[in-house]
Amino acid sequence: MPAFGQYPDKGILFFLVIPENWQTARDLFNKRIGVDLQVLTMQQSIAKNIAVVCNPLAGAGRAVVFADKICRELTTKNKTYSLFTESWPDHFDGFTDIFIVGGDGTLNYFINKYPGIKLPLAVFNAGTGNDFHWMLYGSKTFDEQMQIVLGTLPKPVDIGRCNENYFINGVGIGFEGEVARALTGRKKRPGKTSFLFCILQKIFTYRSKNYSINSAESIIAGKKLLVDIANGRRAGGGFHIAPESEANDGFFDVVVADALNSLERLRYLPVIEKGKHMGLAFIHHYRSKKIVIESDAVLQYHFDGEYGEAKKWRLKCCQRSCYSGIRGFNKGFILVASGRIWLVSRSAVLQFFLLSVRYCLPQCGCFLQRFPFLH
């Protein structure tokens, strides 16, 4: 499974910044601690070299304009960068960060094209729906987002695997898949306008399908309007289908809607759009890491808005980390000197300090600071 970095499940978070002449201590530390010590590739102590990758088709060409704006801002801030539009590189050796300019589809293309990437990522809302961007940054302005992505450490998030493809925002089967099929190849307007027009058309014509939905937490079968496996909270440019979802909790939010007639669909569409549907009788909601979904016919579905067809879906939540900020730890320590940033779990603390005293502290000064981290 590809990963951007691993974080300890519990305990104290440590960042160790060491210069190259501490090689002996570092080698011994790695040998004794093993997997408890991981390198964080976003290194605040090292000058950034940013790869800006742009999908020229995203947002009906809006992404190209947005990428130029990002490059101007990076130039103003004296940051080194390279812009890729028509042709993306085979690898990102030599870069410290990657800025992805586009929407959910562009982000999906990136994580499937570069499944082994180990660099911090930032996504900029230059697509049509931009639902996962909203999950990460909410309504923050461009200047506020630039401050975040240039000044904070990576934030862990999950991704999902659906059959052979990765996804990061969600998978929608049934009604959502039919909407995705109808929109494939069409020019889309920014936001949810295009999605809303298509939804209103399909409300009267779509027929609910039979499903078997199996996981350790729940077994559901029968005719359903839609089945949504969410890592993010929104889909379709602003429909809050899974308003309680967290992208870094290690679980999908599974939302299943029973079959409804056309009048019921019209009645509850605004309710679902606002995310007020979770307590309704025809909604089933639970969290799971692994789900197997089957149907008696080939059905339409989407993963991050990308269209597909299948009769069976195997879905698994995979923990990865990217984007800006760190959450999920109560307290932390940062040992500061110069050079690289290291991540150490509680079990490694004692051995680290013993090795530091023997090999490191005599060679240069360092200090220990305690910081609270956000929940």
Last residue of a domain, one of 157, 181, 203: 157
Task: Tell whether pTM > 0.75.
Answer: no
**Domain tally for the chain?**
3
Query: For residues 207 and 261, is the Cβ–Cβ distance under 8 A?
Result: no
Do residues 302 and 176 share a domain? yes
Q: Is residue 309 located within the same domain as residue 176?
A: yes
Examine the domain organization and report whether 182 and 315 are in the same domain: yes
The yes-or-no verdict on residue 16 having pLDDT over 70 is no
Instruction: Quote the Cα angle for 92-94-97, to 5°.
Output: 65
Considering only residues 136 and 292, tell me which one the structure prediction assigns the higher pLDDT.
Answer: 292
Q: Is residue 3 part of a domain?
A: no
β-pair partners for 4: none
131-145, 304-318, 320-334 — which is least confidently predicted? 320-334
Higher per-residue confidence, 10 vs 70: 70
The pLDDT of residue 95 is above 90: yes
- pLDDT higher than threshold 70 for residue 371: no
**Rounded Cα distance, 108 and 8, in Å:** 27
- Domain end (from 124, 140, 157): 157
Mean pLDDT of the region 209-216: 96
Q: Is 7 inside any structural domain?
A: no
Is the pLDDT reported for residue 327 higher than 80? no
Higher pLDDT, 7 or 316: 316
- Residue 129 falls inside a structural domain: yes
pLDDT digits (tens, 9 = 90+) for 266-280: 999 999 999 999 999
> pLDDT at position 223, please?
97
Q: 277 and 176: one domain?
A: yes
Residue 17 within any structural domain of the chain: yes
Q: Give residue 326's pLDDT.
A: 28
Please give the Cα distance from 42 to 150 (Å, whole number).
10
Distance CA 361, CA 317 (A): 42
292 in the same domain as 352: no
Domain containing 87 equals: 49-157
Q: What is the pLDDT at residue 3?
A: 30
Q: Is the residue at 260 inside a domain?
A: yes
73 and 141 fall within a common domain: yes
Let me know whether 169 and 115 are in one domain. Answer: no
Over range 13-35, report the average pLDDT. Answer: 46
pLDDT of residue 128: 84
Q: Residue 58: its pLDDT value, please?
A: 86
97-109 in b/e form (b: 16+ CB < 10 A) is bbbbbbbbbbbbb
188 DSSP 8-state letter? P
Average of per-residue pLDDT across 285-290: 96
Instruction: Tell me how far CA of residue 205 lies from CA of 27, 104, 175, 201, 329, in angstroms.
Output: 65, 27, 10, 7, 48
- Supply the pLDDT for residue 129: 82
pLDDT at 29 over 80: no
Domain boundary among 157, 192, 222: 157
pLDDT of 252 reads 95
* 134-148, 294-308, 342-356: segment of lowest average pLDDT: 342-356
Domain match, 313 and 333 both? no
51-326-242-158 Cα dihedral, nearest 10 degrees: 60
The pLDDT score that the predictor gives to residue 13 is 34
Whether residue 213 is found in the same domain as residue 266? yes
- The reply to whether 79 and 219 lie within a common domain is no
**Helix ranges (DSSP H) in the chain:** 23-33, 62-76, 104-113, 131-137, 142-151, 175-183, 193-202, 262-273, 349-355
**Average pLDDT of the residues in 87-94:** 93
pLDDT band at 233 (very low <50, low <70, confident <90, very high): very high
Tell whether 169 and 202 lie within a shared domain. yes
Using a 10 angstrom Cβ sphere, with 0-12 exposed, 13-18 middle and 19 or more buried, the burial of residue 354 is middle
Average pLDDT over residues 45-64: 85
Half-sphere exposure of 318 (CA within 13 A, CB side): 20
Average pLDDT over residues 139-165: 89
List b or e across 282-293, with b for residues whose CB sees 16 or more CB atoms inside 10 angstroms: eeebebbbebeb
Task: Supply the pLDDT for residue 46.
Answer: 61
Do residues 315 and 173 make contact, with C-beta atoms less than 8 angstroms apart? no
- Max mean pLDDT among 12-16, 20-24, 61-65 falls in 61-65
Q: Which residue pairs, CB below 8 angstroms and at least 24 apart, start in 193-198?
A: 193/237, 194/128, 194/237, 195/129, 195/236, 195/237, 195/239, 196/236
Q: What is the mean pLDDT of the segment spanning 195-201? A: 84
Taking the C-alpha atoms of residue 301 and residue 308, their distance in angstroms, rounded to an integer, is 5
Give the pair of three-digit tokens for residue 366: 């360092």
Could you tell me if 311 and 199 lie in one domain? yes
Residue 132 lies in a domain: yes
> Tell me, what's the pLDDT at 59?
74
Percent above pLDDT 70 for the chain: 71
DSSP 51-120: EEEE-TTGGGGHHHHHHHHHHHHHHHTT-EEEEESSS--S--TT-SEEEEEE-HHHHHHHHHH-TT--S-
Q: How far apart (Å, rounded) are the C-alpha atoms in residues 178 and 209?
A: 12
Q: How high is the mean pLDDT of the chain?
A: 78
> Which CATH number is 213's domain given?
2.60.200.40
Strand-pairing partners, residue 300, are 309
Give the lowest-confidence range in 17-31, 119-133, 271-285.
17-31
- Give the CA distances from residue 191 to residues 34, 129, 237, 307, in Å, rounded to whole numbers and listed in that order: 47, 5, 5, 18
The reply to whether 115 falls in a domain is yes
Give the DSSP letter of residue 346.
Answer: G
C-alpha triplet 171, 175, 179: angle, nearest 5°: 85
pLDDT value at position 363?
Answer: 44
Strand order in the sheet with 80-84: 80-84, 49-54, 97-102, 121-125
* Domain contains 8: no
The CATH number that applies at residue 81 is: 3.40.50.10330
